[in-house]
A = this chain, B = another copy of it.
Amino acid sequence: MSESALISNGQDACGKRERTKAANRDSILNAARQVFAELGYEATTVRDIIRGTDLASGTFYNYFKSKEEVFDALARQSVTEFQPYLRKVKDNADSIEDYIEGAIHAYFMFLSTYGNKEVAARASASTEGDSLRVDTPEMQAVFNEIRRDLEEYLDHQDISGIDTEYLTAAAIGLAREVGGCMILRDNETNKQSIESVSKFASGLLLNGLKSLTSAETP
């Protein structure tokens, strides 16, 4: 609740009615973010979410039809915030390498801002699980965003013989898992580790890609 205003919903409205409406919506979204991170999507109940606000249970349904809708709203929020960065990366990229490097870096930045140990640790709670994944609405949404973007980018390029869908999958999977690992390791991710991890990830990918393409086209 303390971060109630962390991500505002951006709707500027003037009447008092509108203001409280917006505030309630935000209140629900923030509670949901928290609870999803702590308990996971499946395990969280609508009750858990409203318990995290000072609203009454019935009020939830004035704003969302179900927890799925909240999930979607959260996802949309993240995407909206993330897209500009991704766009800038695309605009500045002169090559596919530039683009991938930039996207991965943007992702790790985003992750270090919104991810936290609970998020990363949660997924594996029920299993014995050394596995760790970053599985909040926000992260899923951002991944999808990158995926879409990356595939589109690759499709416009002509990377001889490389299956762009697989390449995208590889990039996503690699980044996601390494990212989870990073979060889990340094809870307070600092700037430096982000740079280094992001360099590791894009280095691996890009060098691999280079060899693949050069091997493919002689």
Interface size on A, as a range, is 35 or more
**Across-interface contacts of A140 in B (CB, < 8 A):** 127, 129, 131
Q: Is A7's beta carbon under 8 Å from chain B?
A: no
> Given A42-B43, A126-B71, A148-B130, A170–B166 Cβ distance below 8 Å?
no
In the complex, A169→B173 CA distance in Å? 9
The answer to whether B180 and A169 have CB atoms under 8 Å apart is yes
Q: Chain B's nearest CB lies how many Å from the CB of A53?
A: 20
Q: Is A21's beta carbon under 8 Å from chain B?
A: no
**Across-interface contacts of A41 in B (CB, < 8 A):** 42, 126-127
Q: Is A111's beta carbon under 8 Å from chain B?
A: no
Q: What residues make up the interface of A, taking CB atoms closer than 8 Å to B?
A: 40-43, 68, 71-72, 75, 126-131, 133, 137, 140-141, 143-144, 147-148, 163, 165-167, 169-170, 172-178, 180-182, 185, 197, 200-201, 203-212, 215
